[in-house]
A and B are shown apart, each in its own frame.
Chain A
């Protein structure tokens, strides 16, 4: 048996060119399959960990995914706001450890502006326990200070002390600008791969200040200056959402209930982790399709191998007859072909893994930079190992086909072949 295996290796070495091509076909398809799997896994992982450490997100009553989309991903708009009084009530709940208000609605050159408190930078966690970090500067202190995400800084080329003007509304092109009150960049955040990168953070008072005189919803006839605005009462009247941290995890449901049954106005509390999972399932259909396609690519690779081995059978009839004449039994000759399929598949899988990790190593920084997708060079998770093992088994099973044909051929050919 071992000898037949060695013989197979020598025989393959003799057909280097087709052997390399066959192995490469399998390697590429395997690389694609486990690559897709890896991206799927890491994308889901990074997506569902966009926000962590926050137990609940509270907003005006709407759908949970809608609330998640605008509060975390800054996609779409809130249909309603919640009142500042409600915020204070929630904050005073004994089970609540911390509450960070979020106020959305303005933008700067397509990037959303988030009004919040400086505590946001402590409580916003992602990928489990990673906190936001500053590459330059520090959290906002003054009313017209702004902290920008890494992507904002990079795309717009902003540095500390640069001035920015906020536009009213969320559109990329806005005709009504809060140009009477420019902001100063006081902090730039490190890249996180989350929507924070695309956000401009200012204080809640700043949001109030720039909207003095805008109560009707339209641009005021006479814009007031920053100095004048500062003299006004800048306590917020409404906010968009609240991030909550609780003292104990197990009180999540009771806090959720008390928020959902809040008598003063209709509110909704969601668990961000759960909502993120739900959202992922919506977008997950495409990646499922991708996985199925790469599964078929692997199948194609194995079929290619089958074709190569089967078509080599005829030109190897002589070799098989010779082996038979020196004493090889028909089943041993079948072994020769089954182990050939096995070797091709095994090498293909190993090359495929090598190729994937080689690509990961090269593309890792670029993928994080371009897509905010961090692909750690971790060992494959058990799913991928099972997939690889089943590919190997499929290779073996496919090898049985030429093995059986060779078995039959050697029996009819005998020791000499009649050409």
Chain B
């Protein structure tokens, strides 16, 4: 398996005058892997994700995602790269309130030609319906406004949207934290099935160690991040 993400000698701080909060000599993630990233809150998990997603650039070192060194890309190119290759799921408030379920799911295809092209066999709507039914959302519900959905349903819609157009990477930042404990494993298993189906790599961030056993690998941020003293902020 080839590497999807390669980080080497990364240093990052929000302000140049402050000491780095991310200092990672090396990290590689292989294509198709399901990685659990654990760490206490404030340990720099979200910052790491923003670096991999190309939202922020490190002060030094290099990050390659799908063989693309992010620091060689300008802001607009990184935006486009992210839209084409990465799907995001966040803890809460993932959905546009004034769009229906199905419109929320098809949204990424309007911002990325590539993800639209990745859906060759069927229309956008059919693909969205397939993803939603794989995530156990069927029937009238998919034409309803998202505000009528439960939190669990909303998170599955968010997952369907992240998977829409077969991006190579999905970054999930605490997506289960707002769910009941007994629903968390269900959600993750559905996500796994679909990632396998689409050959999508999954980066899953959580502080909930109970979920760790479900994943191929765990990366403990405390182990790889050499920015030793992490302040709570």
Asked whether A326 and B98 contact (CB < 8 A) given A3-B110, A416-B46, A416-B173, the answer is no
- Chain A residues whose CB sits within 8 angstroms of the CB of B56 once the complex forms: 414
A interface: dominant SS: helix
Shortest distance in angstroms between B171's beta carbon and chain A's nearest beta carbon?
9
Q: B87's closest neighbor in chain A, by CB? A: A326
**By the criterion CB–CB under 8 Å, are B50 and A415 in contact?**
yes
**By the criterion CB–CB under 8 Å, are B97 and A326 in contact?**
no
Interface status of B143 (Cβ within 8 A of chain A): no
**By the criterion CB–CB under 8 Å, are A326 and B173 in contact?**
no
- Chain B residues whose CB sits within 8 angstroms of the CB of A69 once the complex forms: none
Asked whether A329 and B76 contact (CB < 8 A) given A10-B99, A319-B96, A415-B50, the answer is yes
**By the criterion CB–CB under 8 Å, are B93 and A13 in contact?**
no
Q: How far is the CA of A374 from the CA of B80 in the complex (A)?
A: 61
Shortest distance in angstroms between A40's beta carbon and chain B's nearest beta carbon?
43
Interface status of A367 (Cβ within 8 A of chain B): no
Interface status of A322 (Cβ within 8 A of chain B): yes
Q: How far is the CA of A319 from the CA of B93 in the complex (A)?
A: 9
Interface status of A328 (Cβ within 8 A of chain B): yes
**Residues 273-326 of A at the B interface (beta carbon under 8 Å):** 318-319, 322-323, 325-326
The digit string for B170-195, where 1 denotes a CB below 8 A from any CB of A, is: 00010000000000000000000000
Asked whether A14 and B161 contact (CB < 8 A) given A322-B93, A327-B83, the answer is no
Interface status of A11 (Cβ within 8 A of chain B): yes
Interface status of A64 (Cβ within 8 A of chain B): no
Interface status of A332 (Cβ within 8 A of chain B): yes
Most buried by A among B50, B55, B76, B112: B55
**By the criterion CB–CB under 8 Å, are A328 and B111 in contact?**
yes
- Chain B residues whose CB sits within 8 angstroms of the CB of A14 once the complex forms: 97-98
Contact of B98 among A10, A328, A332, A414 (CB under 8 A): A10
- Chain A residues whose CB sits within 8 angstroms of the CB of B111 once the complex forms: 326-329, 332
Contact of A327 among B94, B112, B173 (CB under 8 A): B112
User: How many positions in chain A have a CB within 8 Å of any CB in the partner chain?
Assistant: 19
Contact of A318 among B93, B110, B112 (CB under 8 A): B93
Shortest distance in angstroms between A60's beta carbon and chain B's nearest beta carbon?
76
Q: B90's closest neighbor in chain A, by CB? A: A416
- Chain A residues whose CB sits within 8 angstroms of the CB of B98 once the complex forms: 10-11, 13-14
Shortest distance in angstroms between A203's beta carbon and chain B's nearest beta carbon?
78
Q: How far is the CA of A329 from the CA of B111 in the complex (A)?
A: 8
Shortest distance in angstroms between B151's beta carbon and chain A's nearest beta carbon?
15
The digit string for B25-63, where 1 denotes a CB below 8 A from any CB of A, is: 000000000000000000000100010010110000000
Asked whether A326 and B50 contact (CB < 8 A) given A319-B97, A332-B111, the answer is no
Asked whether A414 and B83 contact (CB < 8 A) given A326-B111, A326-B161, A332-B111, the answer is no
Asked whether A326 and B88 contact (CB < 8 A) given A3-B110, A416-B46, A416-B173, the answer is yes
- Chain A residues whose CB sits within 8 angstroms of the CB of B108 once the complex forms: 326-327
18 example contacts (A-B, Cβ-Cβ < 8 A) are as follows A10-B103, A11-B98, A322-B94, A323-B96, A326-B88, A326-B108, A326-B111, A326-B161, A327-B84, A327-B108, A327-B111, A328-B83, A328-B111, A329-B76, A329-B83, A414-B55, A415-B53, A416-B173
12 additional contacts, CB 8 Å, given A10-B99, A319-B97, A415-B88?
A: A322-B94, A323-B96, A323-B107, A327-B108, A327-B112, A327-B115, A329-B79, A329-B80, A415-B90, A416-B46, A416-B90, A416-B173
